[in-house]
Structure 1
């Protein structure tokens, strides 16, 4: 069903969410709201699947005997090699049996320390079948955090790639409970010797699988309320918290997406689809994406593990579904816009004409154009393999202009989701046919949402024209607890089952949720003004000179400062135009003249984009190294780790404030 067909089904004034019938008036909060398509109940699980293992069995049934499931590139840059759902089902059972023989018992913990691979998913599925609990370690976590998670969970068994196994062995003195590492790829004698020296058992994945196939141990399947995973928050503060998610929590999200899809409001994953898996499976966003694809019998291809080669993997795989995060989607947009500007002249005129023509069509509910799709947008589509029909953005806000560009360039259905680890990535999602931007849609059909007043920030459920407040969610996807942290659990999960997200939202006139602030990221300046740094960073990041920005301020200072990573290509171009051609990018970042130029530009840009005087940055520090997971400044979903950034740049922050004074 096309957007143009759906346009007539969603009148402009229709309500996407409605108040829960019979809910009481409670001072200081708005009434709970549910998706208007399903106002009388909350969906628990999809047809025939109450657990993640039953979810897999449904995928096996949907895909049939020969349906592709897990694909990877055996030879570097070679073709994708596939395993069918049926073959993987047999391998999963054998591997799960092998884990039982290795010593794991139902409800024991299994660690994961690996990039996304077929072995990762097969181990996950074995855990679901044999009722083991998954505990992922983020691929780029620092030593202290890995130590914290392993020791808090008293982890004994861990699946790892050889390089990550070496990492664990090198810090084994701080990991007393770790006894067995299952390695998924080839490893050398040095790792074996290192394991022996630390009294750690090293086992090859294939050998565990083979052992499990001989006199197999019968599986004791999980129940819906059993814990499926302890998913540690990626952490914008010091210590991550282990979010305990049950099979029911995750299946509620699968159920919601499936229910909306079957009712014509979302994409319906099927065996005809192909999903590219590169967002970390250790994060709940990709975990749930994968579960949703599996239910539909969809083929899942993995990237090679190198971000720089992701587009090569996509070109070879040719996915139909592309699930991503704003930072990566912004790059696609920025590269196209920069390329058009560089060409200039007739090429730029043609692109602008094509873009505006399709934008006019988009406003009427049509995403196709017989000429411009072939002449202008075909090369852009080829960057994502040429077959993408569905794009989903999640984990962070995305701008309206990028959302519109994706719809126009790819003639695709583009959705934006909003959620957190604590609600299994499931809170709201935009719906098919709704092409308005700037909101994150109505509640998923497995949860209900209310807004609670935040008086200190002047947000209330009685605000006009739209109610505002802290977003609170209750329903089947909401987590049970933080692992071994009852006090932290009580801070977030109240006695009535409401999870307090820490985000500030408002309902728009059609009952869709708009994210407007963040409680935890808000701070006061010396004069008492409240600052939302993420909003300011988002504005500055739109400037062509800016690649990344970290805005900082505190209650002892009257103004804001920022650490800026310039766009290397744009800065070098500016340098050529200003007779600084002999300087490298690194040298330019330390040049006082460049800094002065940057600051003047950004102050003007901030004012032009309606930033208040106290929201404009008053001093900057330029750095040539981008914020990344590797230097522990970004979470796996590319959110800025403010606490770590403050620590890393404290000296520079102090210097900036000294210069201002």
Structure 2
């Protein structure tokens, strides 16, 4: 049943669903029945594409930027839905012919296929080809190190990998550690290029082919298989909703990645929830840059396909994303807080933080628009947009109507500022790989920030007591661990029965590890984290991820690691500052800092103290207790990276590794704290 949107009552509590130790069961108040699909005809991932195809046969589907001989990027070129469908069927047929006839694979469906590339049209074509022919993909992150690649390839038992040309050598180097690897399919041509090299030299293609042959790996490319499939077309598989669509590896901060088993039913229901909650138009243009090996990026593209809209892929370099946006002029974008913080910093510096008349005018305009937004009158204003903000919104191409942000919390003030400055709808969402990304999100017309809106209509949410942290469903507003149930919840962890039982209970509830509450408007709010909890020396429980999320809402923070242990009574932090934000912050403090380089600023004790003061100002405003505030901070000039083994593939800090890497810095901070006079301690 589709009810009218009521921003003051966004969730519906299922009658008689409350039990001892848990809250009632909450559902989306607009659509109270759990959704399986957005159309009776759509039951699989390929059906999602066909739904868009039926709307937009000869309209653009996927686009990429051209590159001239000098390496300069040109305009976007497009392939229509009709053309993409032919490529899906041709390539899928070619892959099946390769598996069954060349590699003597007896199975005709349910075969894992690796997929390793940055976002590009061929990624989507490969993914949909696998879906159409009953195969399932296993995404390899483009930035995975060799150890993780080796683990995922072997653990998933994949024998065939589809990859961009730059990863062919990576796989061949690892062949001795990948005993099951039989075939590599390059998304880029690897045909004979002898005609383009110096006479007497050997072509790159010839070297790769010889190397692959030596390793007993069949090496071919997409174009070859498409041509083969066109001549020897196969019938699409009779795929069922419960068939596996994707094995997506996700890792916590310790141990090996876990293979999350996601079915076609999971994906279709998640797309359905997004379809109704977020909406869309056939005329939309989405920019795809969030990694398609991550669930957020993949669902974003699937939703675009469901509406028959177009997807423009970024050129592969985050440093030139702004140029891609200016060229594409998208209407829809999925983003993460770190990117939005950077956008905020650039816009704020030229508007509200600008000197003189410009800054004064911008501050008045922002204040008027924020008041307008708080009064439920939306993010546009006839006077101030004409005077100022129609120019500001050109920062994202000028056509942006919807931005969905997720993966981490975003600061309230930053979100509200961007809503009015960019004159567009910005919604914060919440999900996990295990819930196929779509758990909860702001609904249309949302005028506040600092919450996660209502559950998507394909799942329901419940809060379970966490008595050791004093979070109870009997509190005035129920509090507890967020649990999710619905057709979007994963089937389990591949080959990990014990971990699956820990994550999904007997009633089908996925236990997220996040602590949440439901506010007076029926909106979900994350207030803490159950996992990675430790005690300080005085016995106080600490959830470092919660504190990191609070601090990360400040634009100064690019990356942060908060540390403490049971032998110490306080916390310390290692922080990688956003360079431009740090310069702007310090410029307002004293002109003397302008003479110092970024590296010198990070080493300056006075700068560290100023940054620490700002962090704890943010922390106090967010309601952190005194014992949850960092007492010292080390400013790290260089980014946390996977190469340093400090980040997981999903860019979360690896806590044990970070503790070891910064062992000396952590010890020095505690020496500094413990040698302070007692009266200076919090």
- The TM-score bracket by the shorter chain reads over 0.9
2-structure distance, mates of 1:589, 1:389 = 38
Determine if the alignment matches structure 1 residue 557 to structure 2 residue 553.
no
CA, structure 1 residues 596+160, in 2 after alignment: closer, same or farther (shift >3 Å)?
same
Shift of 1:540: 3.6
CA, structure 1 residues 253+580, in 2 after alignment: closer, same or farther (shift >3 Å)?
closer
2-structure distance, mates of 1:129, 1:9 = 37
CA, structure 1 residues 516+601, in 2 after alignment: closer, same or farther (shift >3 Å)?
closer
Task: Say which of 121, 130, 133 aligns to 1:130.
Answer: 133
1-structure distance, mates of 2:371, 2:607 = 40
Determine if the alignment matches structure 1 residue 381 to structure 2 residue 393.
yes
1-structure distance, mates of 2:300, 2:557 = 31
Q: Is the 8 A contact 2:5 2:30 kept in 1?
A: no
* Structural mapping, 1:102-117, within 5 Å: 102-103=98-99, 105-117=108-120
Q: In the alignment, what sits opposite 1:36?
A: 29
Q: In the alignment, what sits opposite 1:286?
A: 297
Task: Say which of 628, 640, 646 aligns to 1:627.
Answer: 640
Determine if the alignment matches structure 1 residue 426 to structure 2 residue 438.
yes
Task: Say which of 5, 8, 20 aligns to 1:27.
Answer: 20
Determine if the alignment matches structure 1 residue 157 to structure 2 residue 150.
no
Q: Which one is further off, 93-102 or 371-380? A: 371-380
Q: Is the 8 A contact 1:524 1:531 kept in 2?
A: yes
Other structure's SS at 1:481 match: coil
CA, structure 1 residues 602+443, in 2 after alignment: closer, same or farther (shift >3 Å)?
closer
Q: Is the 8 A contact 1:451 1:505 kept in 2?
A: yes
Determine if the alignment matches structure 1 residue 249 to structure 2 residue 249.
no
Q: In the alignment, what sits opposite 1:3?
A: none
Q: In the alignment, what sits opposite 1:263?
A: none
Q: In the alignment, what sits opposite 2:363?
A: 352
Other structure's SS at 1:402 match: helix
* Structural mapping, 1:487-502, within 5 Å: 487-502=498-513
Other structure's SS at 1:337 match: helix
Shift of 1:633: 4.0
Residue segments in structure 1 that go unaligned for 5+ positions in a row: 1-7, 261-265
Determine if the alignment matches structure 1 residue 461 to structure 2 residue 473.
yes
Shift of 1:334: 1.8
Q: In the alignment, what sits opposite 1:83?
A: 79
Q: Is the 8 A contact 2:115 2:140 kept in 1?
A: yes
* Structural mapping, 1:53-64, within 5 Å: 53-64=46-57
Q: In the alignment, what sits opposite 2:425?
A: 413
1-structure distance, mates of 2:518, 2:141 = 34
CA displacement 1:540-582 (0-9 Å, x = unmatched) = 4455654432211122211101112234345557489565666
CA, structure 1 residues 629+441, in 2 after alignment: closer, same or farther (shift >3 Å)?
farther
CA, structure 1 residues 373+214, in 2 after alignment: closer, same or farther (shift >3 Å)?
same
2-structure distance, mates of 1:601, 1:400 = 16
Determine if the alignment matches structure 1 residue 334 to structure 2 residue 345.
yes
Q: Which one is further off, 306-315 or 647-656? A: 647-656
CA displacement 1:13-38 (0-9 Å, x = unmatched) = x4221222343x43211121111223
CA displacement 1:424-462 (0-9 Å, x = unmatched) = 112111111221222111111111111000011110100
Shift of 1:53: 1.0
CA, structure 1 residues 54+501, in 2 after alignment: closer, same or farther (shift >3 Å)?
same
Shift of 1:56: 1.0
CA, structure 1 residues 570+471, in 2 after alignment: closer, same or farther (shift >3 Å)?
closer
Task: Say which of 53, 60, 63 aligns to 1:68.
Answer: 60
Shift of 1:256: 1.6
Number of residues paired by the alignment?
643
* Structural mapping, 1:475-494, within 5 Å: 475-494=486-505
Determine if the alignment matches structure 1 residue 211 to structure 2 residue 228.
yes
Q: In the alignment, what sits opposite 1:617?
A: 630
Q: In the alignment, what sits opposite 1:4?
A: none
* Structural mapping, 1:583-602, within 5 Å: 583-592=596-605, 594-596=607-609, 598-599=611-612, 602=615
CA, structure 1 residues 638+198, in 2 after alignment: closer, same or farther (shift >3 Å)?
same
Compute the TM-score of the two structures, normalised by the length of structure 1: 0.92
Determine if the alignment matches structure 1 residue 46 to structure 2 residue 49.
no
Q: In the alignment, what sits opposite 1:231?
A: 248
Q: Is the 8 A contact 2:551 2:619 kept in 1?
A: yes
Other structure's SS at 1:515 match: strand
2-structure distance, mates of 1:384, 1:309 = 13
Shift of 1:622: 1.7
2-structure distance, mates of 1:341, 1:461 = 42
Other structure's SS at 2:351 match: helix
Q: Is the 8 A contact 1:67 1:271 kept in 2?
A: no
Q: Is the 8 A contact 1:427 1:473 kept in 2?
A: yes
CA, structure 1 residues 57+572, in 2 after alignment: closer, same or farther (shift >3 Å)?
closer
**What is the RMSD of the two structures over their aligned residues, measured on CA atoms?**
2.3
Shift of 1:497: 0.7
Q: Is the 8 A contact 1:238 1:643 kept in 2?
A: no
Other structure's SS at 2:461 match: strand
CA displacement 1:274-316 (0-9 Å, x = unmatched) = 0000000001111111111111111001001100011100110
Q: Which one is further off, 532-541 or 125-134? A: 532-541
